[in-house]
Every structure is written in C-alpha cells, then in structure tokens.
Amino acid sequence: MKPSNLKFLIGLFAFTLTLYSCKNETSDTTISDTEATSTTSSKEQGQAFIEGDVSKPNVLQIAMNSPDHTTLVAAVQAADLENALVNAGPLMVFAPTNEAFEALPEGTVEELLKPENKQKLATILKHHVTAGNYDKDFLKNFKKLGQADDTNATVEVKGDDVYVGGAKIIASVKAGNGIVHVVDKVILPTAN
C-alpha cells in the first residue's frame, strides 16, 4: 500500500471516529472535578503501555526486550515516539545497536537526549522507520526507501549483505506489526 493511501485511510478512520464520538447524548451521571482527575501520567497512555498482550511482540517490545538496544529505547522514550512504534503497521524499523550509537562522535547521544533537542531526535529516529514488512532478501529489490521523516534512504547490496542508508543489516526479527532489522550504524538523514 502506498504511503499516500495509508495516510488517506488513517485520516478517514480518524474523521469517522471523530464524527461517531461527537454524538449528542445526554447522561444523568455527573462527575466532580476531583473525580475526573486522572491518576495515570499522560506519558503512560496509549497502546505502548498495554500489558498482558498474548500476541506476537510489536517492534517496540522487541527493542525493549533486547539488551543491545537500550540506547535506542531511551531515545524513543525521550522523543515520545513509543505509540508510533506500536501502531498496526506494517512497520520496518532499522534498529541501531548500542554499539552503533557509541560510534557517533562523543557527546552526540547525550546532546540529542536533552529535552530541547526532542524534535531533532525524533527526526533522526523517524529516519529509521518505513512502511512495509520486507525481509532482508526482498529489500535487495529496492534502490531507496521512503522513510517516516519524509526523506529517502538508499538501499545497497554488497554480496549477501544489504545496507540501508549506509548501515548494514546484521539481523532481522519479525514483529506483530512489522519487522525489526538490526543495523550496525545510526542512519542519519541526508538531503535528497
């Protein structure tokens, strides 16, 4: 499905949901201001925080359960992108390892994790996500991929190895909402 079709379907769904939720019903129940106060933090709402799901883990759960992706998970949380990674998908996530983040110039990760750099961090992370559910071998058919940050990442094949945005896919894990391709570098957006 083309990204434009996916955006249209998501928009149509949101519009339908909005119309449905705006029904003019009256209720005899009243709630005082103190009863309406939520005990759950707004950061702990949404699909990312549903527990006890017996289905196949989503791409975020795979990263969260991997000791090699603690830096990636911290970055996703700092950029408030958890809910984007648990959506129905399908999503392909190119997940840099902790070692890949350590290869960046000294202080880069710490600087990006600061609240004032949240937007820049989100843009970099979105460059690691694309719509689809393609395994490594199928990716060999592509020259470039349209990423979630509205830029492209090149796809190169060198022997049996596949590189996306210069990062080598070193492993792949199927998820309930797509696939996680573990990569050996952080993929930085370039001007297309």
The structure tokens listed for 69 are 């992706």
Q: What is the pLDDT of residue 71?
A: 96
Burial 4-29 (b: 16+ CB within 10 A, else e): eeeeeeeeeeeeeeeeeeeeeeeeee
The structure tokens listed for 42 are 């707004």
Q: What is the pLDDT of residue 41?
A: 44
Fold for the domain defined by 54-192:
FAS1 domain (2.30.180)
Q: What is the pLDDT of residue 29?
A: 36
Confirm if 108 and 121 have CB atoms less than 8 A apart. Answer: no
User: What residues form DSSP beta bridges with 173?
Assistant: 180
CA distance 20 to 14: 10
Confirm if 149 and 189 have CB atoms less than 8 A apart. Answer: yes
Q: What is the pLDDT of residue 89?
A: 82
CA distance 136 to 161: 9
Q: Tell me the pLDDT of the chain (192 aa) as tens digits.
A: 545 444 544 443 444 334 334 444 443 433 333 333 334 444 554 444 455 445 789 999 999 999 999 999 999 999 999 988 888 789 999 999 999 999 999 999 999 999 999 999 999 999 999 999 999 999 999 999 999 999 999 999 999 999 999 999 999 999 999 999 999 999 998 865
Q: Map out the domains of the chain as residue ranges.
A: 54-192
Task: Give the rounded distance of the alpha carbon of 45 from its chain centre.
Answer: 16
Q: What is the pLDDT of residue 54?
A: 55
> Which of these, 125, 136, 116, 109, lies nearest to 188 by C-alpha position?
125
Q: What is the pLDDT of residue 191?
A: 60
Confirm if 154 and 41 have CB atoms less than 8 A apart. Answer: no
CA distance 74 to 51: 19
Q: What is the pLDDT of residue 87?
A: 83
